Amino acid sequence: MNNTLKTVSLLSLALVLGACGSSAPSTGTTGGVVTAGVKATGLKVSTLPGKWFVELEGDPTELSAQSVGSQQASFRALARQRGVGYQEVMSYRTLFNGFSVEATESEIGRISQLPGVKGVYPVHLIPAPVTEKVAKSEAAQMPDMYYARSMTGADIAQNELGLTGKGVKVGVIDTGLDLTHPAFTGRVVSAVDFVGDHYGTDGDYVPRPGPTPQDCNGHGTHVAGIVGGNEPSASFKGVAPEVSFGAYRVFGCAGGTQEDIMVAAMERAYADGMQVVNLSIGSAFENWAETPSAIVGSRMVKKGMVVVASAGNSGASGVYSMGGVTMGDNVISVASVDNAKIELDGNVILSTGDRVPYYTATGVPEAQSGQAYALTKKASSTPATTNDGCTASGGFEANSLTGKAVLIRRGSCTFYEKALNAQKAGAAAVILYNNVFGYLAPSITGETPITIPVIAVSAVDGAKISTLISSGVSMTFEVGKTTVANPTADTLSSFTSYGASAELEQKPDIAAPGGSIISTYPLSEDDGSGYAVLSGTSMASPHVAGAAALMLQAYPTTQAKDMRGLLMNSATLRYYRNPNGTLTTLPDYVQRQGAGMVDIVAAYSNAVKVSPNKLSLGESATFATRSKVVVLKNTGATRQVYAARNVPARTIGGTTLAPVAQDFSATMTVNGQSADGDGVEVVVAPFSEVELNVVVTPPAGAADRAQYGGLLSLRGTTGPDLTVPYSGFKGDYQSIQVLGDEFSGNTKYNFPALYDERAGVFYPEDAAVATAPEFTFEQYAADPAKPEVLSTDAPSVLVQLSHQSRRLDVDLLGAGGALIETITTQEYLGRNCSNNLAQQSSSCDAFNTYTWDGKLADGTDAANGTYKLRVRVLKALGDAGNPADTETYTSQAFTVKR
Scored b (16 or more CB within 10 A) or e, 80-115 reads: eeeebebeebbbbebbbbbbbbbbebbbbbbbbebe
Instruction: Compute how many other C-beta atoms are within 10 angstroms of the C-beta atom of residue 538.
Output: 34
Q: d(Cα 175, Cα 130) in Å, to the nearest integer?
A: 12
Q: What DSSP designation does 362 have?
A: B
Q: d(Cα 615, Cα 595) in Å, to the nearest integer?
A: 11
Active-site residue, from 106, 293, 529, 538: 538
Neighbouring C-alpha atoms within 13 Å toward the C-beta of 871? 29
Residue 457, exposed/middle/buried by CB under 10 A (0-12, 13-18, 19+)? Answer: buried
Active-site residue, from 12, 106, 112, 174: 174
Q: Give which of 515, 151, 128 is closest to 315, Cα–Cα.
A: 515
Q: d(Cα 404, Cα 418) in Å, to the nearest integer?
A: 15
Specify whether the backbone of 516 is left (phi greater than 0), alpha (psi in -120 to 50) or beta.
Answer: left
Q: Give which of 463, 461, 483 is closest to 349, Cα–Cα.
A: 461
Are the C-beta atoms of 7 and 108 separated by less than 8 Å?
Answer: no
Residue 66, exposed/middle/buried by CB under 10 A (0-12, 13-18, 19+)? Answer: exposed
Instruction: Compute how many other C-beta atoms are within 10 angstroms of the C-beta atom of residue 159.
Output: 11
Would you call 222 a catalytic residue per the annotation?
A: no
Q: d(Cα 235, Cα 129) in Å, to the nearest integer?
A: 26
Active-site residue, from 9, 106, 155, 219: 219
Would you call 732 a catalytic residue per the annotation?
A: no
Look at strands 454-457 and 474-485 and give their pairing. Answer: unpaired
Rounded to the nearest 10°, the torsion over CA 809, 814, 818, 823 is -20
Compute CA distances 475 → 343, 372, 385, 466, whole Å: 21, 6, 23, 13
Numbers of helices and strands, H then E, in the chain: 14, 58
Q: d(Cα 279, Cα 263) in Å, to the nearest integer?
A: 11
Q: d(Cα 63, Cα 44) in Å, to the nearest integer?
A: 42
Q: Which amino acid is at 58?
A: G
Would you call 803 a catalytic residue per the annotation?
A: no
- Give the three-class secondary structure for 546: helix
Are the C-beta atoms of 804 and 502 separated by less than 8 Å?
Answer: yes
Residue 523, exposed/middle/buried by CB under 10 A (0-12, 13-18, 19+)? Answer: middle
Write out the H or E segment, with its range, that includes residue 485.
Answer: strand 474-485
Which residues are part of the catalytic machinery?
174, 219, 538
